[in-house]
Structure 1
Amino acid sequence: MSSSILRPGLKAAARCSRRRTPAWSCSRGYAATATPQGEMPLETAEDWTKFQVERAEFKTLVEHFSQFGSNQTRDNTWQPHHSLHRPVEPTQLTLSALMAAGAHLGHSKSIMNPNFIPYAYGVRAGVTIIDLDHTLPALRRAAKLVRSVAANDGSIVFVGTRPDLGQAVRKAAGRLESQGFHVADRWLPGTLTNKVQMFGAQAVLDQRVVPDLVIFLNPLQNMAAIRECAMEHVPTVGIVDSNVDPRIVMYPIPANDESTRTAELIAGVLSVAGREGVALRKEQDAKRQTRKRYQEHAHS
């Protein structure tokens, strides 16, 4: 008897459960579950007002404590790719940048050149560590030379014959405009010593074939070019590693010559110095032209 009384009630409950849930209740339930855990959904005007007040308070705290934080970001700090695209000036170069580029890593102790000992800091794990306290002054001295040559309308050649150095020498030569040149593939033997056969007699008479300064990023692979520069009395600047005799170039820069980052950093710093020299030459030429026009106007 009791079961017969409950059966109609169960049927009614089953019919109610098969009814469709309203769409608005489904969307509200989805919105409530989609919110992050611990945050209430913004459903009423009071919720939005509370949210705006909390956001304003957070912004006020950020503005108040921002003066106590760091102002260094990705844009104003040094990045590895900056040595190629945005090189620093010689006066702004630091030992940290040289170390980050790997300039302090030399070759094995067993192949260290005896003449390189003054530039060696020590040996660690069988590898010669280059003393960057010698590298930085040598690089700044070379930068002064490049600036002086460019300011006196001299031509400068960047030589980097390894495949990974091609972009570095091209960008470095481009910063010197018409005074910059580069050799990225191969130095042709006799370029300086047999210049008449290479360029022609008329070209040698009309143009400046012999450069005023040559910068070698990998001097050990360009010994023939260094000999030609010595025979033609052309000053040379080069990156010398621990297995290289520093005396092969006139202005040695002790650093890791197998590191692409190091070569890009050094070439960029020297090219920036050359760009400063080019700007100085243009300024002097403009002053000279102004003075000349003033004198002509005064005589007339």
Structure 2
Amino acid sequence: MATKPTPAELLEAGVHFGHLRRKWNPKMSNYIFGEKNGIHIIDLNATLQGLDRAGNAMRQIAKAGKKILFVATKKQARDIVTAAAQEVNMPYVTDRWQGGMLTNFNTIRRSIRKMQNFERMLGDGTLDSVTKKERLDTTRAHAKMNKVLGGIADMSRIPNAIFVVDIVHEHLAVAEAKKLGMRTFGIVDTNADPTSVDYPIPGNDDASKSIKVVIDYLTECIKQGLAEGNQEKEQKASSGEEAAAA
């Protein structure tokens, strides 16, 4: 069972720090505890409730063998999200959101195939006979594409859900996901509209420590779901073998 962070751990990570009062979104009023020195303080009880709802939903998605796309193009979140997504074998976008990444997925898939073709050419000796400049151009083109598309290279279809670190910063990704009817998860700071996503998690979306404590918990929930899904598959396979033997 995934262990939810304690209020003290959230406090230590700075999850409670919101934005300046003048930057707030009134729709966040239910998630704000108070104000200190002109900065809104997020209610950590609301954060824990949001984590609970989001974690349970992500566990069920992972258990069903479906994918959750992680999106975080802010500098302070990139490495954290990349490591977490790779750990649970989920697709991710951490460099920049390319318009149509979901709504025009067929075109994106063609770009991914082109990138993979470059990768094959660089690895199998196809470019040994070309000029140094041509090889360098191909290497650069592959690196550029891999930076944007590498995290979704194995994503063969539209994922079931999307998780974003900052729903204001990643509003294009959220809009595309909603248009396709995907379930949406996100860390929502005091400047955001929590109704923009299905599973809002009130919290500081600017500090790396805050982002990490939230993502660590959600990753554990996904791991639990994956384990439960594998266990069910093994049980079904075992039951099938017993039935065949009988």
Q: Is TM (by shorter chain) over 0.5?
A: yes
Number of residue-to-residue matches in the alignment? 203
Give the conservation status (yes or no) of the 8 Å contact 2:3–2:217.
no
Say which of 103, 120, 135 aligns to 2:15.
Answer: 103
CA contact (8 A) 1:90 1:140 kept: no
Query: Could you tell me whether the CA contact under 8 Å between 1:240 and 1:246 is conserved in 2?
Result: yes
Q: Distance in 1 between matches of 2:88 and 2:242?
A: 30
**1:103 is matched by which residue type in structure 2?**
V
- In the TM superposition, structure 1's runs of 4+ consecutive aligned residues that sit over 6 Å from their partners are none
Q: Verify the 8 A CA contact 2:166 2:189 in the aligned structure 1.
A: no
Name the CA distance, whole Å, in 2 between partners of 1:181 and 1:286.
25
Q: Give secondary structure in 2 for the equivalent of 1:140.
A: helix
1:199 aligns with 2:109: yes
The equivalences for 1:127-276 within 5 A come to 127-177=39-89, 180-200=90-110, 208-276=156-224
Question: Given the two structures, how large is their TM-score scaled by the length of structure 2?
Answer: 0.79
Displacement of 1:239 in angstroms is: 0.6
Contact 2:99 2:172 in 1 (8 A): yes
Structure 1 position 124 matched with structure 2 position 36: yes
Q: Secondary structure, in 3 states, of the residue corresponding to 1:158? A: strand
Q: Which runs of 5+ in 1 are unaligned?
A: 1-88
Superposed CA RMSD in Å reads 1.5
Task: Work out the percentage of aligned pairs sharing the same amino acid.
Answer: 30
> Structure 1 length as normaliser, TM-score?
0.65
> What is the letter of the counterpart of residue 196 of structure 1?
N
Distance 1:164 1:236 in 2: 21
> Could you say what secondary structure the match of 2:200 adopts?
strand
1:284 alignment partner in structure 2: 232
Task: Give the number of the structure with larger relative contact order, counting CA–CA contacts within 8 Å between residues 6 or more apart.
Answer: 2
2:36 and 2:20 map into 1 onto residues whose CA distance is: 10
Amino acid at match of 1:167: D
Shift of 1:132: 0.5
